Amino acid sequence: MSWYRNTVWFVKGLREYTRGGYESASKRFNPADVEVDVAGRSFLVTGANSGIGKATAKEIARRGGTVHLVCRNKERAEVAKEEIVTETGNQNIFLHIVDISNPKEIWKFAEKFRNEHKLNVLINNAGCMVNNRELTEDGLEKNFATNTLGTYIMTTALVPLLEKAADARVITVSSGGMLVQKLNVSDLQSESGPFDGTMVYAQNKRQQVVLTEQWAKAHRNIHFSVMHPGWADTPAVRSSMPDFYERMKNSLRTEAQGADTVLWLAVSAEATKLPSGLFFQDRQPVPTHLPLAYTHSPPEDEEKLMEVLEEFSQEFKSASPG
C-alpha cells in the first residue's frame, strides 16, 4: 500500500501544501490572533539561523518576546541574530551554539539554560534530511539523532523549566510526509534494508507526532502541538530535495507562510483553547492519518518508542560533561 499512501499524499500536497493552499486557507485567518504583545515572555527556537526557524524568531521578536536562538553553525547564527535585531529593533535576542544531533551537547546546554533563564515557549524546529546513512560521533544515525532523539532530549530536559511558567507551550515542526509512514520502533536507526533518506525523514516526523501526543498526556500544565508548515522555499528544501525543489519551486510557500502556524501556536490565545497534543496545518487541527492508509500503531509501540528514547536520553545524560 506504500504506492497508494505516497500518491494520495502527493496529490493532497499539490492542493493544500503549496503557496496557493496557504493563500486559500489564510482567507479564514483572524489577523488579531497574532497581533499580540509578548514582551516579558521567553521563547527558545532551535534551528533558528535560516528558513522557518529564523522567520518564526523574527516574528516573535517583532512582538517584543525574548528569543533564544539555538543554532549549530556559529557564523550563520551570528548573521541571523544581527538581522533579527536590526529588522525588529528588539535587543533581547540571545544566541546559543548547540548541535541538535549531539545528545551530550543538548544535555549540557539544557542544564545550564535551566539555571540561567526562564522559558515560556519551546519551538522544536531544527531538523535534517540526510540522504545517505551517516553516523554521528556517538554512532547514531544522523536523521534519527537530530529529528527524533534531539527533539526528545531538548524537550524533556526543559520540561521542568516550562512547568514553572505561565501559559507554557511546546511546538514541534513536523511534516506532512509523516502521513505516509506508520511508526516503526523495530528499526529506529535505519539499519535494515536499503536507505531512503526521504522516508527516514518521514518516519522521524511520524515519531515527532507520537512524541507530542504522549507528552500531552504526561504533562497537563504544558500545551503541546505539532505542525506541518506546508511546502516552503527554505535552504533545507533546496539542499536536501533538489529535484523536488526544481519541480515545485514556483509553487512553494515563502518562509514566512511556512512559519505562520508556528507563530500562531506560539503566541495566540486561540491556540491553547484547543486540546493539547494535536497536529496542525494552517492554524487548524488536521488528522494524523490518511483514510485507508493503515498507519495507525498499537499503544504498545508508542510506549516502546518513549521507553527507548528515555534509555538513550539517560545514557547520554550520564555521559554529558558537567
12 touches 228 (CB < 8 A): no
Distances (CA, A) of 73 to 99, 196, 213: 8, 26, 31
Task: Dig out the grid coordinates for 57 from the structure.
Answer: 524568531
Please give the positions annotated as active site. Answer: 201
Q: Reduce the secondary structure of 106-134 to three states and give it as a string.
A: HHHHHHHHHHHCCCCEEEECCCCCCCCCC
- In the chain, beta strands by DSSP E: 42-46, 66-71, 93-97, 121-124, 168-173, 222-227, 278-281, 284-285
The domains found in the chain, sorted by start residue, are: 3-315 (3.40.50.720)
Q: Which of 299, 284, 204, 295 is nearest to 9 (CA)?
A: 295
The helix/strand/coil state of 196 is coil
Q: Please tell me the distance from the alpha carbon of residue 237 to that of residue 253, in angstroms, as a whole number.
A: 11
Full pLDDT tens readout for the chain, 322 residues: 454 455 555 555 567 888 889 999 999 999 999 999 999 999 999 999 999 999 999 999 999 999 999 999 999 999 999 999 999 999 999 999 999 999 999 999 999 999 999 999 999 999 999 999 999 999 999 999 999 999 999 999 999 999 999 999 999 999 988 998 999 999 999 999 899 999 999 999 999 999 999 999 999 999 999 999 987 656 666 666 677 657 766 778 898 999 999 999 999 999 999 999 999 999 999 999 988 878 999 999 999 999 999 999 999 998 777 6
Give the DSSP H/E element, type plus range, for residue 77.
helix 74-88
Q: All 3 cell numbers of residue 297?
A: 500503531
